[in-house]
Amino acid sequence: MALKINQSLVNKENASQLIAVCPFNAIEEQDGIMSIGAGCRLCKLCVNKGPKGVITWEDEKKQELDKSEWVGIAVFVERRNETVHPVTLELIGKARELTEVTGHPVYAIAIGCGMDDIARELLHYGVDKVFVYDDAALDMFSISPYTSAFYDFIQRVKPSSVLVGATNIGRSLAPRVAARCKTGLTADCTMLKMRENTDLVQIRPAFGGNIMAQIVTSNARPQFCTVRYKVFAALRRSEQAQGEIVCMNVTAKMLKSGTEVLDAVKKPAEIDISEAEVIVAVGRGLKSANDMNMIQELAELLGARIAGTRPMIEAGWLDPKRQIGLSGRTVKPRLIIAIGISGAVQFTAGMKGADCIVAINSDENASIFEVAHYGLVGDLYEIVPLLIAGIKEGKYVL
């Protein structure tokens, strides 16, 4: 869809009328030639209120995409030190599930240096082909060379869909590659479904978690999406390796970059609640910061990590890295105890994959009970001390 100017109808009088009718000052006229600038918001007032026929609204004819040319689901392989980041294995498992609908292969694209062991390991997780871009210059992540290598893979292999982990690297890389491919990208998907025509239904919370939006890139390929760690389940490692490793050519053009990575400094170990097996999470039901001592005691007895909702972070009672939810971390522990948490969608979206959810809340109608496996209705200041005493006495064993 676009605005079209019929220059043969432009004169001083109607040019002045059109300039006056535009609320964004986007229409200009010089030497009898009219133009529409970048300030245009496509409000169409110039079409509806201006001199008839001078500016018209025309629908652009889109060329229909031949979806049969795009085959397979590709997963970007991210390294964590010398091993595969767990989110990669989760995405491969989901890709394997999605291809049951279309019968397409699952690809992995590995970029880096010394990727042989990683490539061979991926063949134990159901990947049909691993495409490897291996070069000393790719040892440390650099956005331009990695984007060029990724784009080269897209052009040569033409996968229908591309899944990338929503990590710091993935969130930097995926949008750049998608933009270069002139296609869309859906960030932080919580569910993925495949249609028989290879359209990928990308589902994510929207409008603050009040709705679950279903996004489909129906006339562009590939379809890009990013997914957080711990959203999907990884396949079990097979003892037998199946599949093929394809070594791709790394050219000097790919390695061109406007930046130079001098060194990589290892950060100190951080709190990562995504890896926790047991979590004690707290919400607004906690009345004061001093009451965190009670929560800390319970967590220590259970060997758990403490996490919380956004209000706890904003109050300064917990480190931001301990936040669970859409704007925090996604967790998938064996056990999570939600204390004084109402259960808003923003929070539950980040923890509903837990094996066992125990909720403690004084409101029997709290939303948290809809996702909890076990619910305790009552005052947390009565229940938590009893729980602590019971663990100390050996009544409760994890």
Closest alpha carbon to 320 in 265, 267, 268, 270:
270
Contact 327, 343 (CB under 8 A): no
In the chain, helix, strand, coil percent, each to 5? 30, 25, 45
Which letter does DSSP use for residue 322 in this model?
A: G
Q: What is the pTM of this model?
A: 0.76
d(CA 115, CA 132): 7
**Domains, the chain, with CATH or none:** 2-58 (3.30.70.20), 67-247 (3.40.50.620), 273-392 (3.40.50.1220)
Contact 50, 21 (CB under 8 A): yes
List the pLDDT tens digit at each of the 398 positions of the chain.
Answer: 688 999 999 998 999 999 999 999 999 988 889 999 988 988 999 999 999 999 999 876 667 889 999 999 999 999 987 899 999 999 999 999 999 999 999 999 999 999 999 999 999 999 999 999 999 999 999 999 999 999 999 999 999 999 999 999 999 999 999 999 999 999 999 999 999 999 999 999 887 667 889 999 999 999 999 999 989 988 899 999 999 999 999 999 999 998 888 887 877 766 789 889 999 999 999 999 999 999 999 999 999 999 999 999 999 999 999 999 988 899 999 999 999 999 988 899 889 889 999 999 999 999 999 999 999 999 999 999 999 999 988 876 66
d(CA 378, CA 360): 7
For residue 108, the cross-strand partners are 75, 130
Which letter does DSSP use for residue 290 in this model?
A: G
